Amino acid sequence: MLTDNKLLRIKNGGLLLLAVFCPIFCKLFSIPLPSVMSEWDKTSLYIRNMTGYLRDNYVSIIFFFVFVTAGLTSLLLGYLIHRKFDRNREASFISLRAGAFFIVSALFFLTDANTMFVLPSSRELSGYISCASLMLMPQLFISYIRMITTRKTIIFSEWFFFVFSSLFFILGMFNAPQEYITLTVRIVGFALCVFVMCCALQHVRTLSGKQTEYKHLIIVLCLIQVILIVAGIVFYFTQHRKVFMVCIGLTTTIFAYIVFSDMLNIAARRYIKTSDYESVKKMAYIDSLCNISNRNAFILEQEASFDCDELCYIVFDLNNLKRINDKYGHSEGDKMIKKAAELISLSFDEFGKCFRIGGDEFAVIGRYKTLAQIEKELRQLAKRIEEYNQKSNLKLDLAYGYARRENTDISTYELFSKADKEMYRFKRRGKLPIKMNA
């Protein structure tokens, strides 16, 4: 069964296919491309140079660059929200769909002057692109609106725009009379203006019941949108097309600002949420002194490795810490703890995970292939300790014990207890520092 979003995607995809297929079909059967251009516009030999083109169409060119920038920014913002801020799919899709709307709007403004640049041969194509962009704009706008408002307010408009936009391409492929094509374009354009105005009024109504920091600014901007749309429609019917384009361009620019405000607020909230989560996670699972995993993380790892075979626990204890604290102060004792954590982490980084499970106690949980592998890692640690002691006045002294299992007959808790007992047996033997035979 098709959901509403899937149905909308199918309609959007169908319109896009029609927009691409229509010029191909017209080219194959030598049919003029559908547009609102007159025959005189299509066949005129008047060639403007670039200076004249920019002078005559500076409004469209300015808004083209504005909306290209807005579209690319919105697409990038949607990507960043999805990848960096807790993978918020809903917010990223809102930004991506708004970005697609801005890109198509930019294409509409670029081609509105009936010629892509200054060549007569491109006029018919640019006239078609202008109309095709206008046919796609309502569907892309509705794709954005559907994600921030209820379905009931847009279901009729969605089908209305889909039917008339499809009708434009179908009439073009069947070489319908120019007046029918022009009427279809004007109906879609006028309906889009009314729909954007209704959405702005709905936004005002929604914000009026909320307490947000920029509520009044957004309400004022939405009301300005409504005024600009009404003024634009009036100027269109009074044959002031350039003023009409200015009104529509400013309306879309305000819409872009509102979208970016919403997206940046979402990104900021996600950033704060992510930062708070990371801070809490660090406090909960990272030892503040040694900057390695703490006992909480050790317990979680114990539970996670409950069913693992070939598991090895290595437990370490820093000897003579009390004597160092009493004679040299706790700051020196903390330095010894940090150095022990550093050397253990370096030695067992590839073997497993290192944890500080107590004041001067450390543990490593790792997987082994052979007993020789464990002994190799311990010899590597012993070598690092020996190198450190040669340069330091205070000697680092570690006792260790390890236990391993080949199957899950023994639990992880029993395995840790066994390694801990081996460590204390090592301490009682008084082997200081770690020395192993090669």
Residue 355 contacts residue 365 (beta carbons within 8 Å): yes
Query: What is the structure's pLDDT at 434?
Result: 44
pLDDT on residue 310: 78
Q: Determine the pLDDT at residue 432.
A: 43
Note the pLDDT tens digit of each residue in 401-425. 988 887 767 888 888 889 989 888 8
Q: Which residues pair with 293 in a beta bridge?
A: 286, 355
How high is the pLDDT of residue 188? Answer: 92
- Three-state SS annotation for 326-355: HHHCHHHHHHHHHHHHHHHHHHCCCCEEEE
CA distance 206 to 212: 11
Nearest-angstrom CA–CA distance, 293 and 301: 10
Taking only Cα atoms into account, the Rg of the chain, rounded to an integer number of angstroms, comes to: 35
Q: Where are the beta strands (DSSP E) in 43-97?
A: none
Residue type, 148: I
pLDDT at 280: 63
248 token code pair: 């529509």
Structure tokens at 334: 């903390």
Which strands form 311-318's sheet, in the order they lie side by side?
352-356, 361-367, 311-318, 398-405
**pLDDT tens-place string over residues 138-155:** 888 887 777 666 556 677
What is the value of pTM for the model shown? Answer: 0.59
pLDDT per position as a tens digit, 220-258: 888 999 999 999 999 888 888 788 888 988 998 888 888
- Structure token digits, residue 105: 């709007």
Which pairing describes strands 361-367 and 352-356: parallel, antiparallel, or unpaired?
Answer: antiparallel
Q: Please list the ranges in the chain whose pLDDT falls under 70.
A: 1-5, 38-54, 84-90, 113-121, 147-153, 209-213, 263-264, 266-282, 369, 408, 430-438
pLDDT of residue 437: 35
Q: Which domains does the chain have, with CATH numbers?
A: 4-278 (1.20.1070), 295-429 (3.30.70.270)
Taking residue 395's Cβ as centre, other Cβ atoms within 10 Å add up to 16
Asked if 35 and 127 count as a contact pair (C-beta separation under 8 A), the reply is yes
Cα(361)–Cα(419) distance, rounded to whole angstroms? 12
- Answer for the pair 192, 104: CB distance below 8 angstroms, yes or no: no
What pLDDT sits at residue 363? Answer: 93
Could you write out the three-class secondary structure of 271-304?
A: HHHHHHHHHHHHHHHECCCCCCECHHHHHHHHHH
Question: Within 13 Å and on the Cβ side, how many CA atoms surround 108?
Answer: 21
